[in-house]
Amino acid sequence: FEGSTSYMYLCTGGAVTVGVGHAIFDPGHALQLPWDGSPSPLLIHSDYARVATAEKGRPAAHYQALTKCRLSEGAIATLLDADIAAFEKNLSAQMSAWSSFPEPVQQALFDMAYNLGVGGLLKFRKLLAACAAGKWEIAATQCHRAGIAEERNRETAALFQQAA
């Protein structure tokens, strides 16, 4: 559901993002990314600033013309692998039972954490209580996120239902 984008854009939460949902927290972080052609720091900063101040809530393609910096498919894959490992580690640290949940539940919680951040996922207290109790049908009703495609919400709920 994240899609893959080689240029900076604003995600649904308004954060500057690139690749497969890789948040770019500030211009300094943007400078550390392996942009194609080694653009100048000034170009990276200006691209970041244009995207960061652009209108929120638009599809990723809307931001393409605002930036010249691009990542290769290989660089995007490397970022994604690192992000997945970091999110799995963070989920395990924040939710001690996470690794004992059925695989579909882990997938659903991972999707939510990747989309919302682990801190955002932790705000879903009713969902997490249902998971702790192994009540997957209840978890399926508590996983709805605002601001994302309804299809993604349905897919996430279906993962919880698979565990039931």
Phi, psi (deg, nearest 5) at residue 22: -85, 110
Q: Kindly list the distances between the CA atom of residue 112 and the CA atoms of 36, 39, 51, 93, in Å, as whole numbers in the listed order.
A: 30, 33, 24, 16
111 CB neighbour count, 10 Å cutoff: 21
Mean pLDDT in residue range 22-26: 93
Beta strands in 57-164 (DSSP E): none
pLDDT at residue 1 greater than cutoff 70: no
Mean pLDDT in residue range 112-127: 91
Q: How confident is the model at residue 115 (pLDDT cuts 50, 70, 90)?
A: confident
pLDDT more than 90, % of the chain: 78
pLDDT at residue 38 greater than cutoff 80: yes
Selection from 73, 75, 92 nearest residue 34 by Cα = 75
Tokens of 78: 């490397």
Mean pLDDT in residue range 26-51: 97
pLDDT at residue 2 greater than cutoff 80: no
| Edge-to-edge order in the sheet of strand 22-23 | 5-10, 16-19, 22-23
How does pLDDT run across 97-111, given as a tens digit for each residue? 988 999 999 999 999
Q: Tell me, what's the pLDDT at 98?
A: 87
Selection from 24, 105, 119, 31 nearest residue 63 by Cα = 24
Mean pLDDT in residue range 82-96: 90
Phi, psi (deg, nearest 5) at residue 88: -65, -40
Q: Tell me, what's the pLDDT at 10?
A: 94
pLDDT at residue 121 greater than cutoff 90: yes
Beta strands in 2-106 (DSSP E): 5-10, 16-19, 22-23
Q: Tell me, what's the pLDDT at 11?
A: 87
Predicted TM-score of the model (pTM) = 0.79
Q: Return d(Cα 121, Cα 149) in angstroms, integer.
A: 17
How does pLDDT run across 139-154, given as a tens digit for each residue? 999 999 987 889 999 9
